[in-house]
Amino acid sequence: MQFENGECELTTFALRQDGSCNQVGDPSSVHDYEYHMYSEATRLNKKYSDGSTAPANPSPKAPSPSLIYEMLRFGRPAGETMPSDVKFGHWRKVTTPEATGWINLNQPTIGVYSDADFPQWAGWSLINDDAGATSLCASPTIRRWLDLDGNGHVTHAEAKEALKEKAVVKRLSMAICKFPIEWSKDESTIKARWGWVNQASEALPVPLTADEFDLLKAHIQALGFWEDIHDGELPKADACWHFPPKAFVAHFRKCGWLSTVEMAQCFPRRLLHLQGVKFVLSTTSWDTASARSEKWVAAFNIGTRRYGISVNRLRLIHLLSHVIPETGNLHYVKEINGELREYQPHYGRGLIQLTHLANYKSYGSFRGFADGNSPLKFNGLGWDPDVLIAKDNDGNHNTSNCVDSACFYVSNRTHMLEHMDAGCSKENAILVSKDVNGYVEIQNLNGLDVRLQAVVYLKSIFMDESNESGPTSITFDWRRNSQQEPVLDEHGHVVMVGHPPRPKKKFYRTQHTIHIVMERQQP
């Protein structure tokens, strides 16, 4: 099962006797499935009985929408535990060798794997049958792959022809093989591995001379390092697993799990903030970025994995570009002076600060929080955001739910994941900002100055672009003043509203061009 650009595609493979897997029929695909997974989880939750059935024949207890969401994405609970009294059938349409039909993927006989398992059906092979000590391949398995005529003997010419076959090249490119290490500088090991080049063969009609072999040996010893590594956990030189380099790099690029160092690099060292009508520089040191990332990295990785954000670099760029201004680089998880807002006590909390009663209700319902045991001020909500998300900016917060609520908000906003997947241009960043703040006029988008800078910076971290630090210009429309300004009538007089009268204010739109140095965050 694979998610990509909203699509959910299920492909069936059948295992052959030779250990390879072949695809069965065409994949079963559901258009925009991932983009609507939140609403699907909510819909399925509501299909459970409300408990009004007869006690003698009770209906199964309903899993929370968030638990259903995990089951739909991963095929198993990832962040929550499936209660013993909860039943959930994950029915999916699949193609089998016999027919196309429906299978319940949530049952004990179904094994669940991920890319981290290097599954056989994804094309990976473990080759451990080469007993030779030379650098020549003597694996019976690989020789069978190259044996085009199936006569049990592989000639040099036949092997060369086999390497032109796409299926053979594909299998070899994903073969994880065990054979002696090539980075040893031990003279006896070099002779054992490379001594064959001193003799004529079908693959080497003209062998190396003694002097040429000595030159080769000196070159290998100059590059060798295996004997210089002092670690009792290292395997012996004759017992090492080798990944195909290109496939290894391509495979691990799928991993969106960030280390503390990698996460710290995501917080720009220099940012310009509009204060009044001028842009003022703020800086974040490496020590600060590193210390904060260390506190947040585990929860961030779990949350972004749970909601399918970390599997896509574009999604990480857009999410972090909002986390940076919303939290002041992971410093604030509670809206400053939120108690003074008309929507208090449901002011901003979390990494993308969840605000307003309706959003709190949606999140609480999704997670199954409402239990009625909440303080009086949250009586209409049924759970306590001060405990389950954040009470203040002094450390009284739930790190996991600060991240989770932000990822939830991203996932349930209509078209937001779709807009994230579309790219990370200035126009993409503005559209995603509108997804977060509402589709208001551009001057009313909060933090747009930092968000646009963050997207440009994060592109150099996550995408295959130049990492060089240098001046960059960004031109964009936004508010001309960080504070709202009085509204004037056609005569230039300040418009007064309310009782007692007070000046009516708004943000005025203008165009800015800022010149920034995208300095890498590093020690």
Nearest CA to 323 out of 348, 298, 343, 360 is that of 348
Residue 39, number of CB atoms within 10 A of its CB: 12
Angle between helices 65-74 and 37-46 (to 10 degrees): 130
Confidence of residue 81 (pLDDT cuts 50, 70, 90): confident
Rounded to an integer, the average pLDDT of 242-262 is: 93
Q: What is the pLDDT of residue 476?
A: 97
pLDDT of residue 260: 97
240-263: average pLDDT: 93
Cis? peptide before 500, omega within 30° of 0: yes
pLDDT of residue 49: 65
Task: Write the single-letter amino acid at 380.
Answer: G
Start-to-end C-alpha separation, the chain: 40
The whole-angstrom separation of Cα 5 and Cα 346 is 33
> Which pLDDT score is estimated for 386?
96
Structure tokens belonging to residue 352: 């993308």
Give backbone dihedrals phi and psi of 78, rounded to 5 degrees, phi first. Answer: -110, -45
Identify the band that residue 503 occupies on the pLDDT scale cut at 50, 70 and 90: very high
How far lies 284's CA from each of 268, 300, 328, 334, 514, in Å? 7, 20, 10, 20, 19
| Choice among 13-22, 103-112, 405-414 with the minimum mean pLDDT | 13-22
Residues contacting residue 472 through CB under 8 Å, at least 6 positions apart: 456, 515, 516, 517, 518
Cα 160 to chain centroid distance, Å, stands at: 40
State residue 339's pLDDT score. 94
Average pLDDT for the chain: 91
Cβ pair 435, 413 in contact under 8 A: yes
319-377 per-position pLDDT tens digit = 999 999 999 999 999 999 999 999 999 999 999 999 999 999 999 999 999 777 789 99
Per DSSP, the chain holds a count of helices (H) and strands (E) of: 17, 16
- Give pLDDT tens digits for 157-201: 999 999 999 989 999 999 999 998 889 999 999 999 999 999 999
Contacts by 427-435, CB closer than 8 A, 24 or more apart: 428/318, 428/455, 429/318, 429/321, 429/455, 430/476, 432/318, 432/321, 432/322, 433/322
DSSP state of 485: E
pLDDT at 231: 67
Joined tokens for residue 257 = 């799990």
233: pLDDT confidence band, cut at 50, 70 and 90?
low
pLDDT class for 302, splitting at 50, 70, 90? very high
CA distance 515 to 472: 6
List of domains in the chain: 2-112 (no CATH), 120-251 (no CATH), 261-466 (1.10.530.10)
Query: Which residue type occupies 485?
Result: E
Over the stretch 461-487, which tens digit does the pLDDT of each residue have?
A: 999 876 566 678 999 999 999 999 999
2-6, 78-82, 124-128: least confidently modelled range: 78-82
